[in-house]
Amino acid sequence: MKITMHGSGYVGLVSAACFASMGNEVLCVDVDKARVARLKQGEVPIVEPGLDQLLAEGLESGRLKFTDQPAEGVQFGLLQFIAVGTPPDEDGSADLRHVLQVARSIGEHMQSEKIAVDKSTVPVGTADQVRKAIAAELHKRGKDLPFDVVSNPEFLKEGSAVEDFNYPDRIIVGAESARSIEVMRALYAPFTRNHERLLLMAVRDAEFTKYAANSMLAARISMMNEFANIAERLGVDIEKVRKGIGSDARIGYAFLYAGVGYGGSCFPKDVSALMHTAIKSGYEPLLLQAVEEVNRRQKRALFEKIRAHFGGKLRGLTLALWGLAFKPNTDDMREAASRVLMEALWQEGVKVRAYDPAAMQEARRLYGKQPLLQLCHSPQECLEGADALAVVTEWHQFRSPDFDDIKRRLKHPVIFDGRNLYDPQQLRAAGFSHYSVGRPAVNG
């Protein structure tokens, strides 16, 4: 098939590269000329395992191409995927400017049948707006050309997006015309050979499914963090509780880890957008509001433990920080717990020595002018001259460190473990004070 992908961001680029790897011809459109130039040279602008290889293969085969000309993109493919950003507006709603701009572009330039596919995460009713925008442009031109609008939300996890796309749990397609259903089935046939994964539903149902899925996962995280905060006050080990409830088949183990809250580009934005949609429809979403509020508080939890340990006297201290990205295997720092922690520490006059395997460049872009931040070349370098260590991202290389080396390098043997990576009793025996989430603190 010939596919046009409007947007070469996280979703658009991964989708385009994976479609091309299955033999489709894909033209990716982005109005950022510099980004397009880099992509044509094979430069991957995001950290995502396996994507660089797919991009190189797509470029070499000629099946994956890039342009900064929307008109060229509209002419190219029957399928017009819309995978542009929908950032949160000031009121928490999803900003649809870029989505509707693409829709108008399709209506302005199309000369034959087109199927517009909403891949971006959008509120219920967006497909109706896209349909109206395309129709309005066709009306201006005096054209009567066939088109349809389909919802096909993405369910990609940062750090495993290529794997998720190629081996999906499910493929949600919201479509009502037989023609669009036939085309979408054919498009995804190579991804469903093992067993049927494509779920057909109405367009509005598909739009809601995406928000419901992310909000459900966010709720599990906030629920576990709520349990963890209660557990700390009762002398209970939340890790034991996690295993106890996760063994129940009705609950399962996924997304049951207590920590410093969720971040990234999806959960915070989507929970907020669904709350806005609910309120706009006349319903007060009490549970969603609680999910968001628990997460907001949880991102400050590690800072409060640091302040309590040092008796509120933080000015002049130096903290070693392991992890900047909101999760492993990505450089994404959007809504990351590290940002909340660092900014709170800087307000108290604390210096931060930080390291992340992937997010150093992003940290430099965000905080390059912050005098209280020093970005280090290794986890060990972070520790030099630091009064304590805080861990906020569960990268594999942080999971089994040399604790004797850590103790030698730190001024004080104190670890603030925001991801419950370490065994409190092991650290007590090694002479550390250890603070985690939902487990009793230990003093070595």
Average pLDDT of the chain is 96
Residue 193 confidence (pLDDT): 84
Q: How far apart are CA 248 and CA 252, in angstroms?
A: 6
Angle at CA 269, nearest 5°, toward 163 and 204? Answer: 80
Residue 348 confidence (pLDDT): 98
* pLDDT of 444 over the 80 cut: no
Which residues lie across from 353 on neighbouring strands? 320, 374
What is the number of other CB atoms lying within 10 angstroms of the CB of residue 234?
7
* pLDDT of 305 over the 90 cut: yes
User: What's the rounded mean pLDDT across residues 380-389?
Assistant: 97
Amino acid at 290: A
Catalytically active residues are 266
pLDDT tens for residues 7-41? 999 999 999 999 999 999 999 999 999 999 999 99
User: What's the rounded mean pLDDT across residues 333-347?
Assistant: 98
pTM of this structure = 0.92
Residue 89 confidence (pLDDT): 82
User: What's the rounded mean pLDDT across residues 145-170?
Assistant: 95
User: What's the rounded mean pLDDT across residues 62-90?
Assistant: 95
Residue 3 confidence (pLDDT): 98
* pLDDT of 381 over the 80 cut: yes
* pLDDT of 416 over the 90 cut: yes
Q: How far apart are CA 327 and CA 324, in angstroms?
A: 8
241 band by pLDDT with thresholds 50, 70 and 90 = very high
358: closest CA among 340, 343, 336? 336
Residue 363 confidence (pLDDT): 97
* pLDDT of 272 over the 90 cut: yes
143 band by pLDDT with thresholds 50, 70 and 90 = very high
* pLDDT of 268 over the 80 cut: yes
Cα torsion angle, 48, 255, 229, 275, sign:
positive
User: What's the rounded mean pLDDT across residues 140-148?
Assistant: 97
* pLDDT of 195 over the 80 cut: no
pLDDT tens for residues 244-253? 999 999 999 9
Burial code (b: 16+ CB inside 10 Å, e: under 16) for 75-95 equals: bbbebbbbbbbbeeeeebbbe
Residue 90 confidence (pLDDT): 78
List CB contacts of 436: < 8 A, sequence separation 6 or more: 417, 418, 420, 422, 424
Residue 93 confidence (pLDDT): 87
260 band by pLDDT with thresholds 50, 70 and 90 = very high
123 neighbors 277 (Cβ within 8 angstroms): yes
